[in-house]
């Protein structure tokens, strides 16, 4: 995000048969870019088609020999491309065109249209190939039969019709070849294998690394702050204080909670357990680790935000000694950087490798860290707007259990009373496309 050419526009276009994970990859990339601070948006051809042609389109609508339907779908795809171009012209950084784009002719048209609209635009093609029938069937079951196209069909009818739709596309499918002179990534079975061709540049290289870590295996991610520290009691920022008496009680109760969550030794041995190097987090993690008989990995990357010369001060003392800084932080908490310290934007850059590690993992992940760190991680999985990050609610003595799926993220908050061990649970269900839709004026902007 820092030191790269933000004036250069990037267009990402997907290629592949239906139910191959193209929309999954597009949404993941869009979330990643926005989390990094880029202005990114996905333009889904299917949404334009539903908006213009309606949702009563069975598999015959996708027959390549159906000239009327072919023209209608082509017009919808052109609308999506034009909206992407307009988005980039209006200040967007990354536009993602989510469609099948399975013919060389279609890809050639898109490439020429983008190059004629922008001088020096970077275009990356991502082809998702899947030959695992179980993965395809699972994708259809989880995401396709519940979409608006099949609101009037039962699951069996929807599955049969969608498989017939795939057969229609297979008749004209042309995989990307080197002679098309395109920058492309081919991913097989959602990250199992990957081919990279003529991909250059800072951000495009990051895309390669990101896609290499993607998979569709569900697994829980547990986020918890350390137990209450002495600095929490004194209302001081920064520092490396140890736990208070109440914080020690929470560490014990947290260990009991995770012991119940992971009842067998086999599951315990599969856990990826991450924590920071600061005493309050290490102390909390050690109690949990001893109970579960596992070893946490301490990462400097997960240390709390560096408050620089304000370390050890209360907010009242900061307001008195550095009134200008105190006021600037109130106005722009996201971009404010403590003198000789860090900002939330710095923090997002710092913990990016942790996001890659979590995305790569197929095992349960436990992270015991600090408020600012967990705000950044939480914002990534729930697709919060960047300005929201510094105000997200990550309370003490609470476990946040996230379970990411294809297009949504389940959340369960477990509030633990450190003194009594009493547990109260709050469940939420946040769908990414619902959140996005509420923030856009038009359905086709999703």
Q: Catalytic residue at 65?
A: no
CA distances from 153 to 250, 384, 433 (A): 50, 34, 22
Catalytically annotated residue among 127, 226, 283, 359: 226
CA distances from 228 to 180, 234, 251, 258, 334 (A): 59, 11, 9, 18, 24
Ligand-binding annotation for 24, yes or no, is no
Q: Tell me the C-alpha distance between 195 and 174, whole Å.
A: 17
Ligand-binding annotation for 397, yes or no, is no
Closest CA to 100 of 193, 158, 170, 204: 170
Closest CA to 74 of 96, 43, 42, 49: 49
Catalytically annotated residue among 111, 127, 261, 304: 304
Ligand-binding annotation for 227, yes or no, is yes
Ligand-binding annotation for 225, yes or no, is yes
DSSP codes of every residue in 159-217? HHHHHHHHHHHHTT-----GGG---EEEEETTTTEEEEES--SHHHHHHHHHHHT----
Measured torsion, CA atoms of residues 290, 355, 191, 216, in degrees rounded to the nearest 10? 70
Q: Exposed, middle or buried, 312 (CB in 10 Å: 0-12/13-18/19+)?
A: middle
Tokens of 69: 């339907």
Ligand-binding annotation for 280, yes or no, is yes
CA dihedral sign, ordered 388, 389, 391, 396: positive
Q: Catalytic residue at 111?
A: no
DSSP codes of every residue in 78-141? HHHHHHHHHHHHTT-SEEEEES---SHHHHHHHHHHHHHHSSS-EEEEEEEE---HHHHHHHII
Residue 260: partners with Cβ closer than 8 Å, 6 or more residues away: none
Annotation: binding site for substrate? 225-232, 280
Annotation: binding site? 225-232, 280
Q: Catalytic amino acids?
A: 226, 304
């Amino acid at each position: 995000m820092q030191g790269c050419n933000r004036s250069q526009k990037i267009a990402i276009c997907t290629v592949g048969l239906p139910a191959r994970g193209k929309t999954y990859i597009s949404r993941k990339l869009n979330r990643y870019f926005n989390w990094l601070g880029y202005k990114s948006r996905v333009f889904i051809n299917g949404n334009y088609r539903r908006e213009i042609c309606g949702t009563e389109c069975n598999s015959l609508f996708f027959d390549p020999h159906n000239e009327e339907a072919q023209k209608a779908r082509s017009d919808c795809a052109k609308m999506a491309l034009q909206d992407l171009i307009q988005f980039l012209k209006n200040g967007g950084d990354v536009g993602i065109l989510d469609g099948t784009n399975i013919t060389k002719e279609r890809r050639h048209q898109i490439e020429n249209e983008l190059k004629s609209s922008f001088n020096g635009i970077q275009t990356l093609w991502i082809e998702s190939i899947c030959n695992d029938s179980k993965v395809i069937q699972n994708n259809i079951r989880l995401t396709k039969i519940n979409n608006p196209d099949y609101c009037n069909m039962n699951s069996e009818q929807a599955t049969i019709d969608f498989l017939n739709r795939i057969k229609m596309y297979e008749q004209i499918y042309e995989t990307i070849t080197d002679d098309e002179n395109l920058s492309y990534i081919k991913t097989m079975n959602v990250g199992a294998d990957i081919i990279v061709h003529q991909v250059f540049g800072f951000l495009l290289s990051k895309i390669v690394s990101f896609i290499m870590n993607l998979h569709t295996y569900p697994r829980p991610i547990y986020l918890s702050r350390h137990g209450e520290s002495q600095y929490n009691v004194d209302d001081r920022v920064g520092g490396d204080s140890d736990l208070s008496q109440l914080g020690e009680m929470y560490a014990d109760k947290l260990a009991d909670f995770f012991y119940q969550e992971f009842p067998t030794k086999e599951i315990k041995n599969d856990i990826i357990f991450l924590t920071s190097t600061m005493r309050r987090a290490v102390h909390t993690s050690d109690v949990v680790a001893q109970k579960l008989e596992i070893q946490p990995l301490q990462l400097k990357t997960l240390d709390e935000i560096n408050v620089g010369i304000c370390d050890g001060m209360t907010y009242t003392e900061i307001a008195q000694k550095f009134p200008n800084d105190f006021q600037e932080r109130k106005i722009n908490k996201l971009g404010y950087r403590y003198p000789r310290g860090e900002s939330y934007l710095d923090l997002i850059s710092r913990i990016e490798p942790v996001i890659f590690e979590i995305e790569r993992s197929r095992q349960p992940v436990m992270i015991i860290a600090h408020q600012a760190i967990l705000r950044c991680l939480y914002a990534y999985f729930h697709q919060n707007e960047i300005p929201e990050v510094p105000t997200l609610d990550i309370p003490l003595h609470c476990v946040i259990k996230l379970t990411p799926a294809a297009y949504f993220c389940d959340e369960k908050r477990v509030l633990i009373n450190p003194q009594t061990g009493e547990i109260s649970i709050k469940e939420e269900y946040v769908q990414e496309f619902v959140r996005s839709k509420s923030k856009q004026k038009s359905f086709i902007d999703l």
